[in-house]
Amino acid sequence: MTRRRTVAATAAVLAGALVLAGCGTNRTESGGAAGGSCDTSKGTLVIGMIAPLSGGLSALGLGMRNSADLAVKQANEQCTVPGYRLAFQPEDDQATPQVANQAATKLASDPNVVGVVGTLNSSTAQTVQPILAGKSIVMVSPANTNPTLTIGPDPANPVRPFPNYFRVATTDLIQGPFAAQYLVKTAGKKNIAVIDDGKTYGAQLAAEFAKQAQKDGATIVAQEKVGEKDTDFSGVIATIKPLNPDAVYYGGEYPQAGPLSAQLAANGLPVPLMGGDGIYDAKFIELGGRPGDLATSVGAPAESLASAKAFIDAYNAAGYAEPFSAYGVFTYDSANVIIDGLAKTVGTGTWSDASRATLIENVGKTDLAGASGPLKFDEFGDTTNKVLTVYTVKDGDWVAVEGSTGSFQG
């Protein structure tokens, strides 16, 4: 399965597949194994999600929604949480902190919500974290990469801001330097213009990239900012073109990165554009990404992982209308981290508000073989899996650069 391909609906839908959100509610519910043989006499517990289900980043958010939905469905089929049925409640944050605030407040007000998968954006995570922490609701992100979310603003003196927050994606302290090391040492680019969108994710990623690129011997010929909703980049291109960059690094996401790449070439600067996991989606190519453009993304390519085969097969069989996209495997793992911790927390007992602290503790002790690889967390809630991959645009799709999967070696 490629990022470009849309998964076609199939008649071979898995038994007990969940019906997506209906009128009046976002919840998705499922019966138990063999059409309802699980004991669900203790009631329903809710796994929430906060992600962009509409707007410019919905291609990523919908894949996240479907992947978490699959994990919940499978847990119900396997009677994973004794005595309980799980319901899935995805909330749309439109990649906007204010809307994410509303989504988090809604989920936090429901005593049946046991955990939340999300968010996609680091900027929305900053809004959601304190709201969920106030109710001791565990939060596991498949995609946040800004380091301050787990270690605070000073990497030299790390302090964990919220003990309920975990993530399965490695951070920009690794991703930015990893990209710089490839672009400078392997691709041989020596004069690089750096542009970012000013948002939490993009600015941090660009800053970490620039620091390492200079350490590796490159010259950062310019460091510019654009607006997160800009569509015309002629001004910034006019600024950097006389400086003769041999590559452009963009900290941000594909809605701006794709048009920026196209406009670079159209304005006589056909150099490769590189970005992070925020541009690693088929939409980047549809919006103007060119052959030779580059992106880093967390983990190894899903299709190359034996550990991800069962997820991919089940996802395809379930007939979702959208591909699982860049964060599908990580979202599936994030949901399963919560579900596994919940099963251990409930045991043969019952869920109550007093269980929330125990669930956070159990999630912190996670030791699972996930679809993306080993799932463990350090003392800050960060994943111990630091693997990343460089991808390039080739023949209208993202293709992993041979030999590029690994971690930053400083």
Radius of gyration of the chain (CA): 21
Nearest of 198, 185, 54, 61 to residue 117 by alpha carbon: 61
Helices (H), 155-275: 172-181, 200-215, 234-240, 254-266
Contact 337, 363 (CB under 8 A): yes
Q: Which class does domain 172-298+389-400 fall in?
A: alpha beta
Residues in CB range of 175: below 8 A, 6 or more apart: 145, 205, 208, 276, 277, 296, 298, 388, 408
CATH of 28-169+301-377, one of 3.30.60.50, 3.40.50.2300, 3.40.1000.10, 3.90.600.10: 3.40.50.2300
Return left, alpha or beta for 84; rule: phi > 0 is left, psi -120 to 50 is alpha, else beta: beta
What lies within 8 Å, CB to CB, of 153 at 6+ separation is none
Domain range summary for the chain, segments of one domain joined by +: 28-169+301-377, 172-298+389-400
Q: Read off the tokens for 391.
A: 């991808």
104 in Cβ contact with 127 (< 8 Å): yes
Q: What pLDDT is recorded for position 10?
A: 30
At 277, phi and psi to the nearest 5? Answer: -65, -20
Can you tell me the distance from the alpha carbon of 288 to that of 283, in angstroms, rounded to the nearest whole number? 9
Q: Is 172-298+389-400 in the same CATH topology as 28-169+301-377?
A: yes
* pLDDT tens digits for range 59-107: 999 999 999 999 999 999 999 999 999 999 999 999 999 999 999 999 9
Task: Dump pLDDT digits (tens) for 152-191.
Answer: 999 999 999 999 999 999 999 999 999 999 999 999 999 9
Please state the length of the chain: 410
What pLDDT score was predicted for residue 374? 96
The pTM (predicted TM-score) of the whole model is: 0.90
Per-block average pLDDT, block size 10, for the chain (410 residues)? 33 32 51 67 98 97 98 98 98 98 98 98 98 98 97 96 98 97 98 97 97 98 96 97 98 98 98 98 98 97 96 98 97 98 97 96 98 98 97 97 91
Angle between helices 97-108 and 122-134 (to 10 degrees): 30
Instruction: For residue 293, give the nearest of 401, 409, 154 by alpha carbon.
Output: 401
Strand 368-370 relative to strand 373-375, pairing: antiparallel
8 A C-beta contact, residue 166 and residue 381: yes
d(CA 342, CA 349): 11
Structure confidence by residue, pLDDT tens digits, 378-398: 999 999 999 999 999 999 999
**Interacting residues of 270 by C-beta distance below 8 A, sequence separation 6+:** 264, 290
Instruction: List pLDDT tens digits, range 176-186.
Output: 999 999 999 99
Q: Which residues of 124-154 are buried (b: 16+ CB within 10 A; e: fewer)?
A: bbbbbbebbbebbbbbbbbbbbbbbbbbeee
